[in-house]
Each structure stands twice: as C-alpha cells, then as structure tokens.
Amino acid sequence: MTAGSVLLVGGSSEIGMAVLMQLLGPAPRQVILAGRPSGELWRNAEKLREAGYPVDTAEYDAALDTGELDGMLDKVCAERPLELAIVAVGSMATTSFAEGLLVNGTAISLLLQALVRRKPEQVVLLSSAAAVRPRASIAAYSLGKQLADSTALVLGRQSDVRVLVVRPGFVTTRMTAGLSKPPLATTPERVARRVAAAIELRKTVVWVPGAMSLAVRVLNLLPRKLLPAAWR
C-alpha cells in the first residue's frame, strides 16, 4: 500500500479502527474519519493525531443521497486523492425493518458506488457472515449486509479497483456486549490481521476466522428446525 489519504467510514467502529491501524503504515499519512458526530469518533481522531497522523473528520449518515455522498467525498479528497477506503458501518439497533435495510444495505451500496468512482487503490468492506447465513432474529441486518456484500463483489468485478469483502462472525465489541459468545467468536484485532493478510494476497473475500466459511456452509445444509432459535 502506497502512502496517501485513507478514509474510514464508520469512524467510531472498533473493528474499523483496528483495521485502519493495521493498514495505515507509518505517520504522517492523511486520515479522514467519517461518521455521525460522537464522543467515540472524536476520541479516535485524537488518538490518531497523538500518533502523528493529520486527521480530518466528516459527517456521514445513511440518509445521504448520491449527490450528497459525492459532495462529502469531494470535500475530504480535495487536497489528496483517496487511496484506501474502509467501510465499517452497520447496526443491529435500528428502530424498524426499513431502517435496518437502509443503514446496513442500501446506504452502503450507494457509498460503495461513490467510492469506486474515485478509483482508490483499495476498498475494504466490513460485511458479515450473516450476509451468507441470514438469521430471522436479525433479519434486517442480515438482508442489508447481503445487499452491501453483493454490491461490493459486483463493483470489484466491474472496475479496476481492488475490493475486499470481510465476513467475520461474532466479534467482541460494544455492539455485541452482553450477548452470549458463540463458538468461533473473534476480536477486532484478529479481524484486522486477517484483512492485512488478505490484501497482501489480493483476495476478494476473507472470512474471520477462516473456519467460519466451513461452519456457514454446514449450517446452510442443516434443517433450520433442528437448530437453536438464535441460529435459524
């Protein structure tokens, strides 16, 4: 990865920050953190500045339309071309099915299209195993991730931009705090290391952990009524 500007959309995401730190390389390198204004986003920006990186912040919201996304990217990329974009946006805590689809799927698909039009060297989408193994208990999240996951794969095939789709299973973060930890649970740091290795090997899809791919294939073969309710 050559030195240049790096954009993390989902600037308060623990997994996104872990991936960013793994891929960032030595300071100084221009970093842009985009997301909803929050204390966590400001703390992440300050952490990067203390490490010697110039940091700008930008507001990103799932309600942005295509023109507004292009405007946001025009502004943050005005001085330096974008070389690496990490998309780490997702939520299981949406208030309705429609909002879940918008936040995790439709909005991400529009964002990915806007990013690819800028021809960065690499785009990394933090998807989910739920994109391939949708579950009724998180239906909107799963279906949204399916849309974003598929969009990223199609864009990677149709353009010269390298696109990596990351499909972790359960990751121990603030979003999953309080939930029972299932088999094959992982951490943001392990996700970040797998992403770095996958980029080095120029992969288009990486599962975290690697055994999650086989687990999902097996689960998809089993009758759902035989599985615990949370796994259906």
Q: Would you state the pLDDT for residue 139? A: 93
Answer yes or no: are the C-beta atoms of 52 and 28 closer than 8 Å.
yes
Q: What is the pLDDT of residue 228?
A: 76
pLDDT confidence of residue 179? 82
* Other C-beta atoms lying within 10 Å of the C-beta of residue 161: 18
Tokens 């920050």 locate to 17
pLDDT (tens digit per residue) in 203-227: 999 999 999 999 999 888 888 777 7
d(CA 179, CA 196): 28
Residue 60 appears among annotated catalytic residues: no
The stretch 141-158 carries a mean pLDDT of: 96
- The predicted model scores a pTM of 0.92
Task: Tell me: pLDDT of 3 over 70.
Answer: no
pLDDT in tens, 53-88: 999 999 999 999 999 999 999 999 888 899 999 999
Which of these is catalytic: 31, 72, 129, 141?
A: 141
> How would you label 175-209 residue by residue, b for 16+ Cβ within 10 Å and e otherwise?
eeeeeeeeebbbbbebbbebbeebbeeeeebbbbe
